[in-house]
Structure formats: structure tokens, C-alpha cells
Amino acid sequence: MNSALFIRAITRFIAGVLLVGGLLFLPAGTWNYPQAWLLIGILFVPMFIAGLVMMKMNPGLLKKRLNVKEEETEQRQVIVFSGIMFLAAFLAAGFSFRYKWLMLPFAVSVAAAVLFLAAYALYAEVLRENTYLSRTIEVQENQKVIDTGLYGIVRHPMYMATVFLFLAMPLVLGSVISFIILFAYIPIIIKRIRNEEQVLAEGLPGYSEYMEKVKYRLIPFIW
């Protein structure tokens, strides 16, 4: 096992748990926020398992997923906007629970948790299909165009999965205000996709032909 990679991954994981927990429980003013515990469970338990699997089966992919340093100026802007969006959404959820602002029934949270886990499974399948997946926009050495499986349906199945993941999150938290805030993810991801496709079309042989073959970027028959 690559001990340096393991330490890096576990440190990032613990930091993520503490950050999300702080952003939810501090504004809620209590640990007794069941929807927050539900989200933390369905978010971080599968993430931990996936990390262990990648560490054993494909440490190179795990290393790529831990890399968040963007070279593209436009993508750095996307990261900043996304960070602001999530900060606002989690704080809004915590305050909504504390002050009972437009809170949804717990049954909605449970249904949204099922949707979230289904989207997580879709995300895991994308990682299995495409070992070139990185958090950054880049053309990697010896990279090839993937056009089978989910990539034969839409050009960006990973982003399709994240749309469902991120829109399910505020519903798990029971917050209508947080749900409205996270709708900002849609224009953010559209901006990222357009820039990514420009980079790939210019630097990855066969990608322009792939865009002609697979017409839809994100949602079949829509866009």
C-alpha cells in the first residue's frame, strides 16, 4: 500500500467530515439534527468504502481524484463558485433547521437519501468505466476516448450523476432554501462542461468525432 497516498486520502476524508459537520451543526445550534446525520452517513460511508477500493484496485485513479489543482482559469472560477454555493447551502440548511424555515417532512429526506445512493451507484459505475477521470480538466498521457456504457448515452455521465447527488443533498437535509441555492449548480456545471469539451476537442484525438456520435452532454434527449 502507498502509505503517503493513504495518509493524504484519509486526511482529506477527515477534513471533509469535519467541514460538512461544522457547516451543518454549528448553525443548527444542536447535535440533534437527524437529517444532517443522515446526509453525513450516506455521503461519507460510501466515500470511505470507495476510497479503500480505489486504494487497493486502482491507486492511480485515487491519486487523480485527490488532485484539485486546476490549470484552466475558467475552471478555477468554477471551483470558487461551487465552494460559495455549497457553503451557502449547508449554512442555510443548518439555520433552516434551527429556525424551522420551510423544512420538509422527514419522509422526503428518506426518499431523497434513496435517490442520493442511486446517484452514488451511478457515479461509481462511471469511475469503473473511465480510469482517466480526474478532478481537473486535462488531457492525460495515453488517454483514449471512452464511448461505451454510459459514455455511449451522454458525454458526461459523471456530471449527470453529480446533478442528482447535489440536488438530492438539500432534500435529505429537509431544506427548501438549500435546495433553491443548489440549483446554481446547473449553470456552474454547464460552464465547466463547455470549457472541458473545448480542451478535450483540441487535445484528445477522436474527441471531436465522439461529440458528433454522442449528441447529448448531460441529460438524454434534453442537453
CB neighbour list of residue 85: distance below 8 Å, 6 or more residues apart: 181, 182, 184, 185, 188
Give residues with Cβ within 8 angstroms of 111, minimum separation 6: 171
Q: Which grid cell is 29? A: 445550534
CATH class entry, domain 3-213: mainly alpha
d(CA 59, CA 50): 11
The C-alpha cell at 206 is 477522436
Along the 223 residues of the chain, how does pLDDT read in single tens digits? 577 777 888 888 899 999 999 999 999 999 999 999 999 999 999 888 887 777 777 777 667 666 666 555 666 777 888 889 999 999 999 999 999 999 999 999 999 999 999 999 998 888 777 766 655 555 556 677 888 888 888 999 989 999 999 999 999 999 999 999 999 999 888 888 888 888 888 888 888 888 888 899 988 888 8
Look at residue 32 in the predicted model and tell me its pLDDT.
96
3-state secondary structure of 90: helix
Which cell numbers hold the place of 59?
A: 491507486
Q: Are 116 and 42 in contact (CB under 8 A)?
A: yes
DSSP letters for 163-211: HHHHHHHHHHTTBHHHHHHHTTHHHHHHHHHHHHHHHHHHHSTTHHHHH
Cα distance between residue 121 and residue 133, in whole Å = 16
Q: What is the DSSP letter of 141?
A: T
Distance from C-alpha of 221 to C-alpha of 70, rounded to nearest angstrom:
31
3-state DSSP assignment of residue 103: strand
